Structure 1
């Protein structure tokens, strides 16, 4: 991959987690880890869970930096043991911090999806990626003898890789901490989950989102409330929405929904053609995600009797309330959402033309709107 290509553990347009100094809005998770560290009950395996983009990777890198830069307590020193640390913060001028930024810290191994023999990024973590840790564990210890392994994301391990990692969790090397980042822990082997202590991170509040986005260098849009509604507390999703024009895409889709049940076919066709442009694969994937979001918000409106707040696009509340005014309509939208998601993913798998796939999706939505009047 070229130097400007995001790595598998980096959100496009955002700094790499190793470069993010502060973790916003996850004090409870940080304090839980510090409490275990200070009480000398540091588990060898930690499972960092929660939605995508809420800071799991940033926390993993903060923990790694902290462990490698914090010497063991001086049990018999002249001045006694140091005060227990109250934060995971490490001076950016510390040698460990410098080495981690440069990707040259000998006490740290970061496992992500690797390149195959053709130089293409694999879609899973394979057993050879995990086996590389054998050489890492064989090296001499550094900085107090600690070693840290970050696996991002553990959900992406294939069966062989997962079994290889399980053996390490069952017989962990001395003074080694394994940090497993997981967006969907249910996809992991139950035996892996049972051998780790879980740190769950929560979606960020609106204020924390703005602080985290500012730290990431993102240019906040004027419609901050729309961004907050669509990102649902995920900084990673917010950065993606900003960089790919997600607010504009969602607003246009809601405007098309506003023309139902007749539907403005010209606008639908323009949306489909935009998704089919060369080099627009990321926007096409985002459009499918946003369609799913809109259908979920439609179902929620009918089920609760009120549109979600805040709005995620101009006139969204009015459109959702008109199209999904009853529990019966809510069920219809929930059912069509499941159908459309399955059809869309199948269409992607067989390389169906993106424009045709979007139009098929929109026509299915139009059919549902007509039936539920």
Structure 2
């Protein structure tokens, strides 16, 4: 793949999941797989679900490495069967580990969004991507070992690709395990979900998050508690926030909310102008996401009678409590959040001027703040 084109199965600025040595905070999911393996109930299809950035792809690569490096069970021979494995860990110097790291393991195939004829990354996984597995199964079937397929993410398959994969799940090739990474399993065909065993991964604790970020080589911010709150247990989300200055953007957004209902127009204009800068598309998209987060936290504050227990920006708790302190206000903020999100995403889709779109959003929030007083 062209180095200038981001890998669809990798968080920008973080190591690829195949390079990640340890998985933090997902012991239950790992143990569930090991229990099935050691009980000789290894299903041919596994659906790895959970929020983005919590380690689903890392677990998929750990399972693939484990299966390809662990000999198939036999009668135990002269010395009896080896003890059942207690971990998915495989020595980095193992030949399978080295081949996977080099992208040269013949028993492993990966499916992700591919490039189109113009050399651009497609928006979906197409049927030809799935059909390539036929050649993979044919080339690797003679060695008698296991084969593993990772689909990341399965949510991105179009209808034809999903139908082709379903046929493989219905009639799986011998000694083959399919690992489907899914952020939104509801988007998958019900028949695909029913033919897979599910491993659910949850958000990471603050401690696990810090360990996972240290493993990626990411420099932690001065206020890691703000990062932990805003990332909501997602390592991928935390890396994105750090690389794009998300903590600073959210802090400025909360500061602007703190001036409502009068609104500090100069700060609002500065926020809008930053979104319109050349090459700021990713930061603009992050800003829209953070506006969603702020509005959701406003609605939650009014609904529960208290702001979130952990702040994601200075003075956030005070600002949220002042703007949303009743169930009626919570309902109003939830309604305007849905409206703003739809308008902002539509504007983004039709390439409206980012600065104008941000200002329109801020003015709508100001209007709502005046109404809920």
TM-score range for the pair, normalised by the shorter chain length: over 0.9
Q: Equivalent residue of 1:141, what SS?
A: helix
Matched, 1:108 2:95: no
CA distance, structure 1, for counterparts of residue 81 and residue 144 of structure 2: 15
2:236 alignment counterpart: 236
What is the match of residue 130 of structure 1? 130
Structure 2 counterpart SS, 1:41:
coil
Matched with 1:275 is 275
**Local SS of the residue matching 1:139:** helix
1:307 corresponds in structure 2 to 307
In the other structure, the counterpart of 2:321 is: 321
Q: Distance in 1 between matches of 2:252 and 2:9?
A: 31
Map 1:115-194; keep pairs closer than 5 Å: 115-141=115-141, 145-194=145-194
Deviation at residue 209 of structure 1 after TM alignment: 0.3
Question: CA shift at 1:243, angstroms?
Answer: 0.4
Contact 2:292–2:341, Cα closer than 8 Å, also in 1: yes
Q: What stretches of structure 1 of length at least 5 have no aligned partner?
A: none
> How many residues get paired?
373
Aligned equivalents of 1:305, 1:15: Cα separation in 2? 41
Using a 3 Å threshold, how does the CA distance of structure 1 residues 5 and 122 change in structure 2: closer, same or farther? closer
User: SS state of the match for residue 148, structure 2?
Assistant: strand
SS, match of residue 347 in structure 2: helix
Secondary structure of the 1:180 match is strand
Matches of 1:197 and 1:141, distance apart in 2: 24
Q: Distance in 2 between matches of 1:286 and 1:122?
A: 21
Q: Partners in 2 of 1:317 and 1:142 — Cα distance? A: 62
Q: Partners of 1:309 and 1:25 in 2: how far apart?
A: 21
Question: Could you tell me how far 1:309 is from its partner in structure 2?
Answer: 1.5
Q: Which residue of 1 aligns with 2:261?
A: 261
Q: 1:256 to 1:142 in 2, by over 3 A?
A: farther
The within-5 A match list for 1:353-372 is: 353-372=353-372
Between the aligned partners of 1:55 and 1:288, the Cα distance in structure 2 is 24
Q: Secondary structure at the match of 2:77?
A: coil
Residue 144 of structure 1: CA displacement?
5.1
CA contact (8 A) 2:107 2:140 kept: no
Structure 2 runs not aligned, ≥5 long: none
Secondary structure of 1:140's counterpart equals helix
CA gap 1:293/1:241 in 2 versus in 1, 3 angstroms = same
TM-superposed deviation, 1:4: 6.0
1:92 maps to what in 2? 92
TM-score normalized by the length of structure 2: 0.99
Tell me the TM-score normalized by structure 1: 0.99
CA distance in 2 between counterparts of 1:176 and 1:191 reads: 19
Preserved CA contact (<8 Å) 1:301 1:330: yes
Cα shift readout 1:193-214 (whole Å, capped 9, x = no counterpart): 0000000001000000000000
Aligned partners of 2:122, 2:140: CA distance in 1, in Å?
30
**SS of alignment partner, residue 180 of structure 2:** strand
The change in CA–CA distance for 1:34 and 1:4 in structure 2 (over 3 A counts) is farther
Q: Distance in 1 between matches of 2:51 and 2:208?
A: 15
Query: 2: distance between equivalents of 1:53 and 1:271?
Result: 27
SS at match of 1:75: coil
Distance (whole Å) between structure 1 residues aligned to residue 205 and residue 369 of structure 2: 34
Cα 1:78–1:358 change in 2 (3 A) is same
Question: 1:6: how far off?
Answer: 3.3
CA apart distance, 1:145: 1.3
Give distance in 1, aligned partners of 2:300 and 2:139. 54
Q: Supply the distance in 2 between the matched residues of 1:295 and 1:4 (Cα, whole angstroms).
A: 35
Partners in 1 of 2:49 and 2:25 — Cα distance?
15
Cα RMSD of the aligned pairs, angstroms, is 1.0
Which residue number in structure 1 is paired with residue 344 of structure 2?
A: 344
Equivalent residue, structure 1, for 2:61? 61
2:141 alignment partner, SS class: coil
List structure 1 runs of 4+ shifted beyond 4 angstroms: none
Instruction: Tell whether 2:5 aligns with 1:2.
Output: no
**Whole-angstrom distance in 2 between the partners of 1:103 and 1:160:** 27
